[in-house]
Amino acid sequence: MAQGANRTTAQVVGVVVLAAAVTGFLSVAAVRHGFFDLKVYYGALTWWVHDGGEIYDYLKPGTQYGFTYPPFAALVMLPMAYLPWSAAIVVSVLASVVTTTVLIWWLVDPIARRAGWTRWFALAVALCLAAAFEPMRETVNFGQVNTLLLFLVAVDLLRLLPSGNRWAGVGIGLATAIKLTPGIFIVYLLVTGRWRAAFTASGAAAGVSLLAGALFPDASREFWTEALWNTGRVGELAFVSNQSLRGVVARLDPEHPSTLLWLLLVLGTLALWAWRARAAVAAGDEATGLALTGAVMCLVSPVTWVHHLVWLLPALILLVDNAMAAPAGRRRRVLLAAATVGYALLISRTVWFWEKDFTGLDGFVGSNAYVWISLALLAFLPIRRWLAPGGSVVEASGVPQLDQPDRPAPAGERHLVGRLLTVR
């Protein structure tokens, strides 16, 4: 008992030290955006509700930025117009923290249980590391909705779909109606042959969009006929924060970016994604399907700001998951090294060194660093073999695979981090 108490004390101290280190890091590395995007939402909703203006006509004073989301997003955010600004900040931050905590718990807890780690400690360590993750801290600092969308999709793919729940797809549909880019998860369901869930997602997206259209016909008409097609409202494509394939092409020639080259890159990337996504589902690996589709969404979207890269978080966690599922040896070391390097780059603000000048070979490599990470995760994130009923193994041919253990790894095969977390 004394040994257990000592271990718990050491873990509490470890979390406190790590939290202090992350706080110190954020005080130096984190950029204060003053909830810029949240101010855009808040200003647009206030203009719409209280000042009699049209929501898509609003531009934040001194900028070209306005409300760019579909009318259903305006309906979801409508209560914000009746809150004080300070309360809107609190709601935004709490929503990001709660959704992130639940998502990380879903992804980290299975690793902790299989490896025999202390579960609360594993979650606390993961949350501290997530706080330093640049896309996550940018999401909070901007007041963005990224973690809410990721959570809605994860509810479907990690919870409802594997259990055969008839409501699987509703989360994806709602996320798509709030912001169009998660619609690629409807394509994911179609590509992998889950027709019922795809139909449910499409129906949910269409249903709530029609509801918003009925409630706000003028706003809906303006969004679908004008605001949606006004690309100038979202910012400069060549800006270094745009870590998509479109951003890569735009930075090659900011004045005349090649649409043909971008489309060819998108088609090739989608082909790779479709092949790997189908393999993941054939193996019963829905978590990897989520991670692969999140990565491809970031790559093929015309605009993927750094804060949108929270969609890479599941892939980084799954790298650690695959490492801990592998026998001790070279493969485990490679996977842990990949997760460490990817995470280190994604907390480092590396791309911003080329914010003013992204010319030359170093500019091409450095200013697109997060794109290369997304591509590497899409191409090489391992796909697992899962035990089917009766003990047979579901195979996914032609892709990297690891066994999915259903018990803790033997103590001799645990990684050093695992030994530090293990309750004996």
Residue-wise pLDDT tens digits, 195-254: 999 999 999 999 999 999 999 999 999 999 988 887 666 668 999 999 999 999 999 999
Q: Beta-carbon neighbour count of residue 90 at 10 Å? A: 11
Residue 155 has pLDDT above 70, yes or no: yes
Residues 6+ apart with CB under 8 A from 256: none
Residue closest to 205 by CA, chosen among 70, 108, 54:
70
Residues 6+ apart with CB under 8 A from 190: 198
Pairwise CA distance, residues 86 & 90, whole Å: 6
Give the largest CA-CA distance in the chain.
69
Whole-model pTM?
Answer: 0.90
Burial track 122-161 (b if 16+ CB lie within 10 A, e otherwise): bbbbbbbbbbbbbbbbbbbbbbbbbbbbbbbbbbbbbebb
The tokens for 340 are 């460490």
For residues 144-148, give the mean pLDDT: 96
Pairwise CA distance, residues 273 & 297, whole Å: 10
Residue 160 has pLDDT above 70, yes or no: yes
Tens digit of each residue's pLDDT (9 = 90 or more) over 55-82: 999 998 988 889 999 999 999 999 999 9
Spell out where 249-370 has E strands.
none
In a domain, 2, yes or no: no
What percent of the chain clears pLDDT 90, i.e. is strictly above it?
80
Can you state the angle between helices 146-154 and 313-325, rounded to 10 degrees?
50
Sign of CA dihedral 396, 317, 353, 35: positive
pLDDT score at 54: 92
CB 346 within 8 A of CB 319: no
In a domain, 417, yes or no: no
In a domain, 365, yes or no: yes
Tens digit of each residue's pLDDT (9 = 90 or more) over 79-131: 999 999 999 999 999 999 999 999 999 999 999 998 888 999 999 999 999 99
Phi and psi torsions of 403, nearest 5°: -65, 150
Sign of CA dihedral 195, 196, 201, 207: positive
The residue ranking higher by pLDDT, 228 or 292, is 292
Per-residue confidence band for 416, with pLDDT thresholds at 50, 70 and 90? very low
The tokens for 292 are 């692969």
Distances (CA, A) of 42 to 62, 223, 411: 16, 18, 53
Tally of structural domains, the chain? 1
Pairwise CA distance, residues 74 & 104, whole Å: 28
Tens digit of each residue's pLDDT (9 = 90 or more) over 300-353: 999 999 999 999 999 999 999 999 998 889 999 999 999 999 999 999 999 999
Residue 294 has pLDDT above 50, yes or no: yes
pLDDT score at 406: 38
DSSP for 62-130?
TSS----S-HHHHHHHGGGGGS-HHHHHHHHHHHHHHHHHHHHHHHHHHHHHHHTB-HHHHHHHHHHHH
pLDDT score at 108: 96
Residue 421 has pLDDT above 60, yes or no: no
In a domain, 116, yes or no: no
For residues 179-186, give the mean pLDDT: 97
CB 215 within 8 A of CB 75: yes
The tokens for 171 are 């989360």
Full domain range(s) for residue 284: 235-384
In a domain, 178, yes or no: no
In a domain, 300, yes or no: yes
Q: Residue 344 burial by CB count (10 A; 0-12/13-18/19+): exposed, middle or buried?
A: exposed
Report the amino acid identity of residue 84: P
Pairwise CA distance, residues 306 & 424, whole Å: 41
Residue 407 has pLDDT above 50, yes or no: no
Can you state the angle between helices 245-252 and 259-282, rounded to 10 degrees?
160
Report the amino acid identity of residue 397: S
Pairwise CA distance, residues 76 & 321, whole Å: 35
Burial track 195-221 (b if 16+ CB lie within 10 A, e otherwise): eebbebbbebbeebbeebbeebeebbe
CB 313 within 8 A of CB 290: no
Q: Which residues pair with 387 in a beta bridge?
A: 393
In a domain, 64, yes or no: no
The residue ranking higher by pLDDT, 2 or 286, is 286
Residue with token string 């101010």 = 39
Q: What angle do CA 272, 275, 281 make, to 5 degrees?
A: 135
In a domain, 119, yes or no: no
Ramachandran sector of residue 79 (left: φ over 0; alpha: ψ -120 to 50; beta: rest): alpha
